Structure 1
Amino acid sequence: MKVAILGSGAMGCLFGAAFHRAGHDVTLVDVNAAHLDAINAHGLELDTRAGVEHLPIPARLPADAAGPFDLVVVFTKTFHTQGALEGLAHAIGPATHLLSLQNGLGNDRRLAGFVSDDRVMVGASMLPSDLVGPGKVRSHGEGYSRLYPAFGGDPAMAQALAEALTAGGLPAQLDPEIHNAIWSKVIFNAAMNPLCALTRRTPGFLGASAEARATIRAVVEEGVAAAHANGAMIDSAPIHALTETSMTDHADHEASMLQDVKAGRRTEVDAINGAIVEAAEDKGVAAPVTRTLWHLVKLEEAKLAPS
């Protein structure tokens, strides 16, 4: 397959590397010129528990990406989805499939309109990855990914992608209940990401704090109640287990929201905590702790924004 990774930060590079290892024709697409230049000059440096690799994957600005692609994997921030896909529209053909592995709720609707509904896929990944410098990505943790057609239909392409990712070293599987999996990941992120961003600390720090643990537990329970009210009948126990894994196995991982706040960038808190609160309140369910974290991160964004 001819594959474009649209938004080639830490997670995008990790997945691009997997498709590359599986023998596919991968192009990393991003707007970070320094990052692209480093990859093109020295290869993508990927540091995992298996060792350090230097992978010769071409990296391009959107305007320079030559399509049409068979697959575009979208890893941009949720608020950049529309603009990013518009910038790559010249490389999206009549047979191109789109796959969102982004954070937050509602990514299926953001992709719809760029291709027909039967070529939209969504997924959820619980893999850690950090961009440690231009062209350099570190991923020292275990995880998995799930994916499926966003609006139902033939899962053949999704199955091919899961097999390719697994062959490339990132375990992935089909999940007909993918929207439940997405809800679970959003709830996990709503519990962990804001606290990392607000404390400027990694999950290991949160694990040592009784106050943080109580807050995390409350957000998970509020999120599950919101999911249930919206028809996603998920269990809270696996999400609580994931938060524990985050605080132990991924203790030093810098959550994306922490990276954004440290860099003075807008976060995805609206698509994570904000989306949970809005989905909950639309059904008459309260989510006060999740709302408070949402507002506190928005205050951080206001503080960092140019005056």
Structure 2
Amino acid sequence: MRFDILGPGSLGLLWAARLASAGHSVRLLVRTPEAFEHWQAIGGRLIFEHDNIREELEIEICLDPGTEPLHRLVVATKAYAVPSALNPLAHLLGPDSTLVMLQNGIGSQQYARELCKDSQVLCASVTDGAWLRAPGHVVWAGKGLTRIGDEAGGPCPPWLAALAPPALDWVWEQDIAQVLWQKLAINCAINPFTVLHDCRNGEVPARAGSELDALIRELKALLHSQGFAPQAAELAQVVADVIRRTALNSSSMRQDVHAGRQTEIDYIIGYACRTAVREGIGAPVMTGLYARLKTHLAMHGLANN
């Protein structure tokens, strides 16, 4: 099978590397001539580091896919980049196309579904750890599981059913929305505090104090409003477990700030705040945290996030 990967970050290159290593044909879609020239200069070689093994994989690099339909497109850009990355490809996505959306937060998946009405749009929640040692050199730092499903209620596509480790470790979720909302709530409870206090995940309870408990109460009300009572009931424990397991980790939002990159706050806590307003839920802690975060980012020259 051939897969097109859109987004050469750590997660996109991890998918490209795992699929190529398992013998599938992989094409990396790049968006600028500069990116294309970089990959051409290194011969289209992707370095995949995992389990004390270093693989060099050759993948196809494409700047302009022309008129050829895209049948399996993995969208691995940041959430805010989905419109600009996907719009130029929309004419290549039809009834025989499947998109796999790997973004944090909620909103970009719905955008893709509205843009590509004739295609199947799958949402994925990924727990693998990956980072780039250098451009084109991805390190698989932690093996996880990909929970994947179709919010529109479509079936698991045959090509996905045929994928098995090491190409992909996955489970099909009939209700992927509850997975996305639970992850959103967890990210809302952890990531903003790691940015505001410039701390690792494990330091959040001590730094946030009672504000964390108050925020979790609001997030539980938000989950209830969306029909996810079981996820609401277990949220406090799940957040505590995630903080404990990832105590030494730096959240992706904090990493983005340190790197001077645009963050995904409008698709995480921003989306949660907008939903609370729409549902008529009082969420002063959440909205106050969001406002403080926007001010903090502006002070770091990231005001347009």
TM-score (norm 2): 0.84
Listed one character per residue, the Cα deviations across residues 55-113 of structure 1 (whole Å, up to 9, x for unaligned) are 41426364368843321111212221111012334653552211212111123321124
Does the Cα contact within 8 Å between 2:223 and 2:229 map onto a contact in 1?
A: yes
Gapped regions of structure 2 (runs ≥ 5): none
Per mean C-alpha deviation after superposition, the further-off stretch among 27-36 and 187-196 is 27-36
How far is 1:221 from its partner?
3.4
Equivalent position SS for 2:8:
coil
How far is 1:187 from its partner?
1.0
Residues in 2 aligned to 1:65 and 1:189: alpha-carbon distance in whole angstroms: 38
What is the percentage of aligned positions where both structures have the same residue? Answer: 29
Instruction: Provide the residue aligned with 1:43 in structure 2.
Output: 45
Task: In structure 2, give the amino acid aligned to 1:200.
Answer: D
Equivalent position SS for 1:56:
strand
Instruction: Provide the residue aligned with 2:22 in structure 1.
Output: 22
Instruction: Provide the residue aligned with 1:286 in structure 2.
Output: 282
Q: CA, structure 1 residues 170+247, in 2 after alignment: closer, same or farther (shift >3 Å)?
A: farther
Does the Cα contact within 8 Å between 1:261 and 1:300 map onto a contact in 2?
A: no
Q: CA, structure 1 residues 22+241, in 2 after alignment: closer, same or farther (shift >3 Å)?
A: farther
Aligned pairs for 1:204-215 within 5 A = 204-206=202-204, 209-212=205-208, 214-215=210-211
Larger Rg: 2
Residues in 1 aligned to 2:139 and 2:287: alpha-carbon distance in whole angstroms: 32
Equivalent position SS for 1:88:
helix
Task: In structure 2, give the amino acid aligned to 1:185.
Answer: K
Residues in 1 aligned to 2:57 and 2:162: alpha-carbon distance in whole angstroms: 22
Instruction: Provide the residue aligned with 2:195 in structure 1.
Output: 197
Aligned pairs for 1:56-95 within 5 A = 56-58=57-59, 60=61, 62-63=63-64, 67-89=68-90, 91-92=92-93, 94-95=95-96
Task: In structure 2, give the amino acid aligned to 1:8.
Answer: P
Q: CA, structure 1 residues 258+22, in 2 after alignment: closer, same or farther (shift >3 Å)?
A: same
Equivalent position SS for 2:103:
coil
How far is 1:201 from its partner?
2.9
Residues in 1 aligned to 2:197 and 2:67: alpha-carbon distance in whole angstroms: 42
Residues in 2 aligned to 1:45 and 1:241: alpha-carbon distance in whole angstroms: 38
Residues in 2 aligned to 1:259 and 1:36: alpha-carbon distance in whole angstroms: 27
How far is 1:274 from its partner?
0.9
Task: In structure 2, give the amino acid aligned to 1:143.
Answer: G
How far is 1:123 from its partner?
1.9
Q: CA, structure 1 residues 162+199, in 2 after alignment: closer, same or farther (shift >3 Å)?
A: farther
Are 1:230 and 2:226 an aligned pair? yes
Task: In structure 1, give the amino acid aligned to 2:27.
Answer: T
How far is 1:135 from its partner?
1.9
Per mean C-alpha deviation after superposition, the further-off stretch among 134-143 and 86-95 is 86-95
Does the Cα contact within 8 Å between 2:95 and 2:119 map onto a contact in 1?
A: no
Equivalent position SS for 2:268:
helix
Instruction: Provide the residue aligned with 1:108 in structure 2.
Output: 109
Listed one character per residue, the Cα deviations across residues 4-24 of structure 1 (whole Å, up to 9, x for unaligned) are 121121111122223223332
Are 1:135 and 2:136 an aligned pair? yes
Q: CA, structure 1 residues 305+108, in 2 after alignment: closer, same or farther (shift >3 Å)?
A: closer
Instruction: Provide the residue aligned with 1:299 in structure 2.
Output: 295
Q: CA, structure 1 residues 249+85, in 2 after alignment: closer, same or farther (shift >3 Å)?
A: same
Equivalent position SS for 1:122:
strand
Count of aligned residue pairs for this structure pair: 301
Are 1:9 and 2:9 an aligned pair? yes
Residues in 1 aligned to 2:272 and 2:91: alpha-carbon distance in whole angstroms: 34
**Equivalent of 2:174 in 173, 176, 193:** 176
TM-score (norm 1): 0.83
Instruction: Provide the residue aligned with 1:269 in structure 2.
Output: 265
Gapped regions of structure 1 (runs ≥ 5): none
Does the Cα contact within 8 Å between 1:100 and 1:122 map onto a contact in 2?
A: yes
Residues in 2 aligned to 1:140 and 1:213: alpha-carbon distance in whole angstroms: 31
Task: In structure 2, give the amino acid aligned to 1:231.
Answer: G
Equivalent position SS for 2:64:
helix
Residues in 1 aligned to 2:54 and 2:36: alpha-carbon distance in whole angstroms: 16
How far is 1:53 from its partner?
2.9
